Amino acid sequence: MIFRQLFDSASSTYSYLLASRRGGEALIIDPVLEKVDRYIQLLNELDLRLVKAVDTHMHADHITGVGALRDRTHCITVMGEQTKADVVSMRVSDGERLTIEGVELDVIYTPGHTDDSYSFALPDRVFTGDTLLIRGTGRTDFQNGDARAQYDSIFNRLLRLPDATLVYPAHDYKGDTVSTIAEERAFNPRLQVKSADDYAALMASLHLPNPKMMDVAIPANMHVGLAQGAVAARGWAVSAAEAHALVGRPDVVFVDLREQCERERRGVIEGSIHAPYPDLADHLRQGGLLQRTGAGKRLLFYCAYGERSAMAVQAAQEAGLTSARHIAGGMAAWRIAERALVA
Ligand SMILES: [Fe+2]
Q: What is the pLDDT of residues 105-128, one digit of tens each?
A: 999 999 999 999 999 999 999 999
Q: How far is the CA of 64 from the centre of ligand 1 (A)?
A: 11
DSSP state of 32: B
Q: How far is the CA of 24 from the centre of ligand 1 (A)?
A: 30
What is the model's pLDDT at position 142? Answer: 86
Cβ within 8 Å of residue 169, ≥6 positions away: 14, 127, 128, 129, 130, 132, 133, 134, 179
User: Which pLDDT tens digit goes with each residue over 263-302?
Assistant: 998 999 999 999 999 999 999 999 999 999 998 999 999 9
Q: How far is the CA of 312 from the centre of ligand 1 (A)?
A: 31
Helix, strand or coil for residue 100?
strand
What is the model's pLDDT at position 83? Answer: 92
Q: How far is the CA of 57 from the centre of ligand 1 (A)?
A: 7
What is the model's pLDDT at position 143? Answer: 86
Neighbours of 37 (CB within 10 A): 11
Q: How far is the CA of 182 from the centre of ligand 1 (A)?
A: 23
Under-70 pLDDT residues of the chain: 87, 224-227, 343
DSSP state of 190: G
Q: How far is the CA of 188 from the centre of ligand 1 (A)?
A: 18
Q: How far is the CA of 305 from the centre of ligand 1 (A)?
A: 25
Give φ, ψ of 40 to 5 degrees: -65, -40
Q: How far is the CA of 152 from the centre of ligand 1 (A)?
A: 18
| pTM (2 d.p.) | 0.89
248/237 Cα distance (integer angstroms): 19
Q: How far is the CA of 62 from the centre of ligand 1 (A)?
A: 9
CA atoms within 13 A on the CB side of 129: 31
What is the model's pLDDT at position 86? Answer: 78
Q: How far is the CA of 270 from the centre of ligand 1 (A)?
A: 40
Q: How far is the CA of 61 from the centre of ligand 1 (A)?
A: 7
Q: How far is the CA of 113 from the centre of ligand 1 (A)?
A: 7
Tell me whether residue 164 is exposed, middle or buried, using C-beta atoms within 10 angstroms of its C-beta: 0 to 12, 13 to 18, 19 or more.
Answer: exposed
Q: How far is the CA of 2 from the centre of ligand 1 (A)?
A: 25
Q: How far is the CA of 211 from the centre of ligand 1 (A)?
A: 10
Give φ, ψ of 79 to 5 degrees: -145, 180
**Angle at which helices 147-156 and 196-204 cross, to 10°:** 130
At residue 29's C-alpha, the angle toward residues 116 and 9, to 5°, is 105
Q: How far is the CA of 200 from the centre of ligand 1 (A)?
A: 18
